[in-house]
Structures are given as structure tokens and as C-alpha cells.
A and B are shown apart, each in its own frame.
Chain A
Amino acid sequence: DIQMTQFPSTLSASVGDRVTITCRASQEIYSFLAWYQQKPGKAPKLLIYRASTLQSGVPSRFSGSGSGTEFTLTISSLEPDDFASYYCQQFNFPWTFGQGTKVEIK
């Protein structure tokens, strides 16, 4: 199985900060990567798919980049609603997820 290493595991930031989360695949996954946001007690919400395609309705402050084995999720200016956990997922079978990054208030 492809291992997804996500870092940092926790990130302390303030409203207005630029935030970057990284996901590294143990082997080539081309652009078959998605990013999700999850808040406590809720299901994950799709933010980005195909590494850089913004899901409909997701604010443009979220962006994704990368291909091959290294990917990033960037929040250009953190808003109060963005404090949550974020996960990457790769789509080579069997699908696997990163362990998550919790973005907390500094």
C-alpha cells in the first residue's frame, strides 16, 4: 500500500496567517490526490481533488499543488472557520489517507 506522510501533525496559527500543509507519498501517485477538512463531530469535507482542482463552493483561499510524491495544501489567509483538521488521500488502489494535520489557534 502507498503510505501518505502528512506534516506537520499540529500547526498553531493566527487569523490572517498563510498556512501550508504537506503530504508525501511513498511512491508516485501522479495527481491522484485529494484534500479534506474535518471539524469535530462532522464528516470530512472535500476541498481539493486532482491535486489542485478546487471543489465547487470552497473558498479560493484554499489551494493545492504538487504532483508525483509531494503535495501541499495552502490556506492563503486563515479565517476563524478554518481551524480544523486536514487530511490528504491518494487514489491508487487501495486508497490511503494521511494521518492528518490539526490547525489550532495560536
Chain B
Amino acid sequence: QVQLQESGPGLVKPSETLSLTCSVSGDSIRNYYWSWIRQSPAKGLDFIGYFSHGGSTFSNPSLNSRVTMSMDTSENQLSLKVTSVTAADTGIYYCARVIVLGPQLHGLDVWGHGTTVSVSS
């Protein structure tokens, strides 16, 4: 049974870089597609991006290229970096596994518990 656990600093200063890790247990990250989602009272659930088991990444254009997603297959971990953060980046950050059927992505079937990030000086 695949389990996901996000981790990272709870507090980040404005203009700095947010770095999060998602540790995956129960299966290899190379077998699946993965996604990062965040949630805030202001924006609700917000798509950050997803990446394939081959390492191709697709981040939301609304984040203006501030996002970097990567995989560490040796550690079986996913990582997310968001640069030049502002208060608008405050929220709960989730990693999740993507259901893939043929060429199409269909749902997020396994989620981490989420990690809360506050952007404040």
C-alpha cells in the first residue's frame, strides 16, 4: 500500500524559496505519475503541477515558472521548489499519485497528509 509523507519548513520568508519533500513508501516512484496540489482558504484547491515516472514535468503556467519539481529515485522521494514566495503561496501542500489510463490522466488516488506552509517575515 503506497503511502506519501510531505515534509518541509513550516515558515518561509517572502522572496525566499520554499522547498518541500514527499517521501513515498510501499512502491517505487518510477512506476507512477505524481502531482503537487496546494490548498488555501483564498484559492481553494490549486494545481501546482505533475510529473511522469520518466521525469517529464508540467507545472501550472499561473505560477510563472517559479516551480521546480523533481524525483530522487535513490531515496524514493519527490521534491518541490517554489521561488520568490509571497503570502499568496501560504497554504497546505499535498503530494498525490496520479491515475493514468492509456494516454490520459484521470484522478489523484493516493494523497499525503499535507504540510502547512506559511509565508511571513
Contact = CB atoms under 8 A, between A and B. Distances in A.
B107 A46 contact: yes
Interface string A78-106: 00000000010101011111011000000
Interface SS of chain A: helix, strand, loop or mixed? loop
Contact of A43 (B50, B61, B62, B114): B114
A94 B47 contact: yes
A53 to B, nearest CB: 8
B59 to A, nearest CB: 9
A96 B105 CA distance: 13
B112 A91 contact: no
Interface string B13-48: 000000000000000000000000000000011110
B58 A93 contact: yes
A34 interface: yes
Interface in B55-102: 58, 60-62, 94, 96, 99, 101
Contacts, number: 60
A91 B111 CA distance: 17
B107 A45 contact: no
The number of chain B residues touching the other chain, given as a range, is: 20 to 34
A89 B104 contact: no
Interface residues of A, number: 24
A5 to B, nearest CB: 12
B60 A94 contact: yes
Contacts of A42: 113
Interface in B106-121: 106-109, 111-114
CB-CB nearest 7 A-B residue pairs: A49-B107, A43-B111, A97-B45, A34-B107, A95-B47, A49-B106, A94-B60
10 contacts: A34-B106, A34-B107, A42-B113, A44-B94, A50-B106, A87-B45, A89-B107, A96-B47, A97-B44, A99-B44
